[in-house]
Structure 1
Amino acid sequence: MESSTGHQRVDYHLLKVQAEMINQIAQVTRGTLVLNELLPTIANQLHQILQVSGCLMFPTHDPPAMATHQVSFPITQSVESTGEPCLIEVFRHLFQSYHSWLAQGKPLIIPESEGKLPPELKQLTYPCDLRAIMMVPLLHGQSCLGSMTLYQCDHEREWTVQEIAFIRGIADHFAIALTHQELEQLYQKQSQELKQKESALKVSEARNRALLEAIPDVIFRVNRDGFYLDWKAAIENPVLFLTNNCIGKHLHNCLPTEVAGLIWEHVEIALESDVMQVIESPVRQDGKLRYFEARIVKSGLDEVAVIVQDITEGIEARLTLAQVNDALEVRVQQRTAALRKANQALKGEIIERQKAEEQLRQSEERFRNVVEISSNWMWEMDENAVYTYASPKVWDLLGYEPSEVVGKTPFDLMSQEEAKRVMEILASFTVLKHPFSNLENTRIHKNRQLVVLETSGVPIFDRLGKFCGYRGVDRDITKRKQTEV
């Protein structure tokens, strides 16, 4: 009877201590305590309450913590002086040897399991005079995260059922706290990476948007169904003029039927083939026949980017030289008739679809595609007119690689007389920090031929409003000038 009462008192005491420790561990998951600071405290409490020689707690992913969270009596002088393996090394070998056993949620109990120890592990434990070991796995789900080990040296000891249950309860909650910490660390890491990516994306978007602003053409985005997603025009009265009211509307609601049908047809081709489509077509605007070139390139899963350039001057020069006005009118009539026939298949009015919410972040690839398909050379220069950026298109215009142009000024690529003339013109804009457009100037190709360019640029300011240079584009108008002559 007295023995039973004594066991009840021991059980009650262990349950009370266990509850206190579990409460401390629970505070880790609530963020009021730090796990690495709590580990030595728990190890020390177990060492004192169970009167063991020592307690060792470590997670498998953090081996240095094994030494930090060990509490034990000093090892005998003979063990230290002979250079035999330390206790941490012994328990590391035990954990590795019995990992599959521990991963099943089973504790390693010695002396009960002593007969099962391989000879090499018996030899390893002998110098440390280990008489009893209780190694309880830190198990969460299907993962073994480490172990909690108590050991006895110098004298024999039998682990009671109550002690084993006591340690297993604490180990289970410690495994939960350890998992919570790992998830929290992973969340913090991913959050930091996301912030870095968002910051890089914003910088990229700012640069690409600035480059797009310098392109003197109409640019718009259309989805597979033919609805406008976005548009911009850097010049007044552009060909295929649009308004903000067009966003969310269908091509047929904003453009002439023939033009809308032609563009929509090639939108589908570009999306299916992933190959840029180039079309030319006339359009009557303000009572005058004008001509445009549209380059259509896939910029998303179900959308394209379209760059529209007014090529009226080039077409008119071509017609004048070739004297084919009548033939071209026939061609236009044939194309118009073909488009009307194709559009007869359309059933009534196309229902307007609700505009999709514009994405907060636009893909860098979308802007890069627009830059690559542009027929213009895009550049940036500092306040001293030194090129700091040149797009690959400079090779087509002047025969130079971008790296050969960066570090030079526009005047380095001109004759002395032309450089003096252009420098005086640019100075008038630079002093006032004003944009300029359609500035004709003659450059010297790498092969020494003369190339006539039409230059447009906008000033660049930093966030404090300080002038930093110009960003703009050059367009080759050599053929047009030769035709005019």
Structure 2
Amino acid sequence: MALENGDRQQDDPAPNQVGLTPEQQLAALEVAVYGMAIFNDDGCIIYANPACANLWQYDNREDLIGQSWQRLYAPEEQQRFEREILPQCLQAGSWTGEAIAQRQDGTTYPQALALSQMTDGSMVYIAQDITERQLAEDSLRRSEADKQAILQAIPDLLMHFRGDGTHLDIANSDGYSVLELDKLVQGNASVYDLMPYELAKQRMHYIQRALQTGQIQFYEQDIEVNGQIQSEEVRLVATGPDEVLVIIRNITERKRSESALRQSEAKNRALIEAIPDLLIRMRGDGTHLELANGDRYPVLNKDKMVPGKSTVYELMPPDLAEMRMRYIRQALQTGKYQFYEQQIEINGQLELEEVRVVVTGPDEVLLIIRNITERKRQEEALRIAEENYRSIFENALEGIFQSTPEGRLITINPAMARIYGYDSPADMIASITDIGEQMYVEPSLRLQVKAVLATQGFLKGFEFRSYCKDGSIIWTAMDARAVCDSGGTLLYYEGIVQDVTERKRKEEDLKRQLEQLEIQIDQSRRAQEVAEIVQTDYFQKILEEAESLRYLDD
């Protein structure tokens, strides 16, 4: 990196802030998950740890020794180093940020990078592949921003112990909640002095295992610090024959997130199980990823559905597959949920389905499929029933009506309008604002009708005189009932009205004819009775006596 000793003031080397021996520091470098290297003042690598070799896909880190830093970056990034990064590092003594590195095979990857210039002109280089960095990104950025050397670049709490549990040193305790921090006396305090007995016993177990096996040990613990339960992830690395480096990471938030995620997944699973619909998760190219509720929903070619492999074109007829893909593409393009219906034959039966397409990711959708075969049958039956009712309503000879308790018409059929002489149902509905006053010749009868309906709920064959539009009077016969909601509250009246004027006229004519016939019958009966009296002997005797008297008078 072409660094000259004269570019920086020759300060005394910084004291070892963590108190680690060179061997301990080297051990930490060797097991570090970050790529670490040292470049001399000519920009060539003089040291690289295993992680550094892995970053550039070298099988042997020795192959990196002597390589120029420029071999690690593409020409464009080399120019950026020369133009920006190196000048800033020379001026400030260190630099942290991100860069695009180039592996041995020519592929590139983003890396987090920290550079620190040493007093002898060499450069400490720390790199990490951040392609899949997620939750650790913030802590890594904080550590890079610290512009510290190797161990301080690690965001975790670092503690060094001897095999007997004696605490040796601590690093990165600033900003980290440490139990009994004030009791940490280098070389004197034991793990049993710093932690509850059971946790101390657990730590000693893993310290001894790390020393016995030489392998990294890992465990998690919950510890109360400052009155708060803190979840920690603990890694132990043997750094010497009788020394262990303990790397502690606070994972409280991660545990909370995992717990929240588990609860969310449990709720989602319960919701999915409660939903009767078929759920299919798919990629934008039509590949099936997951199927839910397929055990209780008829699925076409279910046995051929292979998550991650089978596509919609393999499982559905071409026209239906293309229609589904059209809606999937439309959902991904617009970000809005799509809806359509389809007919599909499954197990020899024609099924009607309602399909909703919801975007769940950049290239993923969730299909919610509901079998609506029975609902469609019911809707068709309802449509036919409604058409039949409408036909009866429109074509009936009787007047059909619905009216409010207050005395207004809600709806009537054409026959009702004709009976009362109106041009149309709309004309009659608009004209009648008070049924009792405008239609009943005797308005009090309207009150009687309401009273009967209130007590009995229905009325049959009620006859009354009504006014027509032109003021003429007709006789009508009405059947009616009160319509109430589920709570018994009156909603409206409905009923049938017939014009019985002609029947009433005929009844009056018949009545008159009967009366006349009765008079004629009485007259005939009296004449007959007189004739019978005249023919009797008694009447004849009286008649003879009357005749004899008349002769005497003469």
How high is the TM-score relative to the length of structure 2?
A: 0.33
Instruction: Report which of the two has the higher share of strand.
Output: 2
Structure scoring higher RCO (CA < 8 A, sep ≥ 6) equals 1
Structure ranking higher in helix proportion: 1
TM-score, L = length of structure 1? 0.37
Bigger Rg, which one: 2
